[in-house]
Structure 1
């Protein structure tokens, strides 16, 4: 049987009922990021994958936080492939009409916290590999399923995995792109900007410097600024800032029980996206230069910028792979065969603003892309994935496994 017929057989062998059942079980296991809650789901995955005959290893990244690394060895002499996905999820907020941990299914979607980001892809990897086994296809290259922790903390699980020497020639990261082939995404950083004022009672506020009022000038300037870096249209389109937290008050503890005193401290925490060819420190320097320009018109504006890195939080770099790379073309071809139409490819919005473990894998010398089910209903109440996209992703993964490793 030639490779194309093997790929067709593998895609046809995907068991959608088994896939939905696995995904429901995964959704019902709470695995919030950075909460020490990922141990249970890692142990569940170890048991499930061991029953498929895979070689399975739990890597303890932090206490009771495990990567589950499973491998189906090939016969030798072939290209190896890693399917990488994170098991940690965001917390469930307000506004849900479904049980976030119920794994409810209707005619169109499966619901649950983390189902889009990204347990659907994690389960689809397994279904794709099971389909290859079911079709009786013998592979030459190894297949590695890397179910990791801590992606939402900047990829601590994948970095740990790489430090342990786990590698493959090619990779797919199944972050939710609505089954688009993402070949370029921004780097992601988090930082804090603090404005320092001078407190006075409101009776003599003219003598003071209101840190909050100064921050109201900084925020629109920050939102409107453009970063330095390579002058390419697709790169320029990656660069942006989003402010998520603001605090103001007195002193480093932001005391707020005496509002008749001008705030002498106001801070924002923000996330920024930057392009290949830039570094987090370059972004910080651009912001410091912006503040310096503003100080020429407002000498009382005093501010500092600090990157949040180290500790449990890592920085995710920008990612880019050539559109004509073999693994990209395999995914595009598999999507075309399974779905019957061309996928979106390249710097696809809004997914190009993600930070993903693809950056860490690429920096380690592996070649791959980001392609996964879900996306349009990501990070919102009643998070869900369309069943059609889930099933198609599993079939695409099955084909890509065969075409890469057979």
Structure 2
């Protein structure tokens, strides 16, 4: 593309194409499509249709037909870095999750609305609002005719929010990370960098932990006592009821969990990880037959682990919890997903900082420890070698309020447009290895040798 053609369309020409109301309306439309993990299809189809309607050429990437990812490319003219914008389609709570939330049908989890200067809804803040922002930003770049040198890819993926197969809960409805970013990238959606538009309060997050899920099973060593024959008193750890024994184990677990997160806290250049552990499910007995003490109980543990940590070491620590209480049992690792610190992301980080400064009066926010202590799809990109950073507005209260300021959402579209134009117009040499790949130096050495022979 000739330089005079590139100058004919300026950054400001693109920014004036961004209609704040369009960003809000798209966020509302997406937020009002209820798409809990496992039921992302209608939201994915909406994004696909929106992209097609706006002259993109979207494609579906599906391990399972009804749970597909969507991506579309704004092709560059050549010679620039490529960038993936990414957000997820799935939301956190199913309306039938009666044993997870006191009111699983709360509209805050299943719809979206504007009230005053804020937009509300779990689906908007996590993660369809930022998705709307980068979709409108990409549309503005295309509508303005801005000639990017590198490709810009927009993507919307399934299965970011954990839903993992365990026990009798098996099959496609219980898959998550494996059919989202990882599947999309390994089937052709590759770029030099990825920006994951997940809430950071417009801070830059370049490190996130992995996760390990464990099933801890507790046994009794006596008969299955009929209630009238139940012996008392006993210590909790010696109870003939597995539920009571599990309570003793849980008390010790809570002590362990605090110690675990304290001694494994990591403070680095890209952020702080406080890896926490929590018991988030428990089962024993049958509510339709409560006349006898159960001999078995199980609880299920979500544990965050540092990048590079071995989940088998955590398993051994949980076995130690059982030993200290003196209760027989087993610890099963049933999910392991590694965490990463982004490598080779310096160019993307510098670009974000520069474009942030052009959009906001203050530098990127200092990110709270909790934000750098959660699993996001940056891990999936970094694992396959694509340097990835999280950067987006964040809910005023992620746990309760679940809302964005409208201006934060519309400003996100402006800064995303700037980031895309800046990064994709930076000159890219030939043969650039994947910056986050563990073996990038091998490809880099061959590229250097080839350059030396010219």
TM over 0.5: yes
Query: Over residues 376-401 of structure 1, what are the superposed CA-to-partner deviations in whole Å (9 max), with x where a residue is unaligned?
Result: 33354x63222121112111111110
Is 1:215–2:234 an aligned residue pair?
Answer: no
Q: Secondary structure at the match of 1:88?
A: coil
Q: Structure 1: where are the runs of 5+ without partners?
A: 310-314
1:54 is matched with: 56
Alignment match, 2:354: 333
For 1:343 and 1:83, the matched residues in 2 are separated by 19
3-state SS, counterpart of residue 182 of structure 1? coil
Pairs within 5 Å for 1:370-389: 370-380=390-400, 383-389=402-408
Which residue is equivalent to 2:445? none
Say which of 136, 141, 146 aligns to 2:145. Answer: 136
Contact (CA 8 Å) 1:208, 1:262: kept in 2 or not? no
* CA shift for structure 1 position 96: 7.7
Superposed, 1:341-360 pairs within 5 Å as: 341-345=362-366, 348-360=368-380
Of the candidates 294, 300, 305, which is equivalent to residue 274 of structure 1?
A: 305
Q: Residue 37 of structure 2 aligns with which residue?
A: 33
Structure 1 residue 190: deviation in Å? Answer: 2.4
The alignment of Structure 1 onto Structure 2 pairs a total of residues equal to 386
Give the TM-score normalised by the residue count of structure 2: 0.77
Deviations 1:65-100 (A, max 9, x none): 111111111001110000111111122562887575
What residue in structure 2 maps to residue 258 of structure 1? 290
**Aligned residue for 1:146?**
155
C-alpha separation in 2, matches of 1:112 and 1:397: 22
Match of 1:319 in 2: 340
The SS at the match of 1:304 is strand
Match of 2:86 among 84, 87, 104: 84
Q: Secondary structure at the match of 1:195?
A: strand
- Offset of 1:276 from its aligned partner? 1.0
Can you list the C-alpha shifts for 1:147-200, whole angstroms capped at 9, x where unaligned? 111111342211211221321100111112222211122212322211111343
Give the superposition deviation at 1:40.
Answer: 1.9
Higher relative contact order (CA 8 A, sep 6+): 1
In structure 1, what is the Cα distance between the partners aligned to 2:298 and 2:272?
27
Answer whether contact 2:195 2:390 (CA < 8 A) is retained.
Answer: yes
Structure 1 segment 226-265 matched on structure 2, within 5 A: 226-227=259-260, 232-233=266-267, 237-249=273-285, 254=286, 257-259=289-291, 261-265=292-296
1:363 equivalent to 2:395? Answer: no
Distance 1:378 1:348, change over 3 A: closer
Distance 1:173 1:231, change over 3 A: closer
State the Cα distance separating 1:28 from its structure 2 match. 2.0
**Residue 186 of structure 2 aligns with which residue?**
163
Alignment partner of 1:200 is 2:225: yes
* 8 Å contact kept, 2:73–2:153: yes
CA distance in 2, matches of 1:186, 1:109: 31
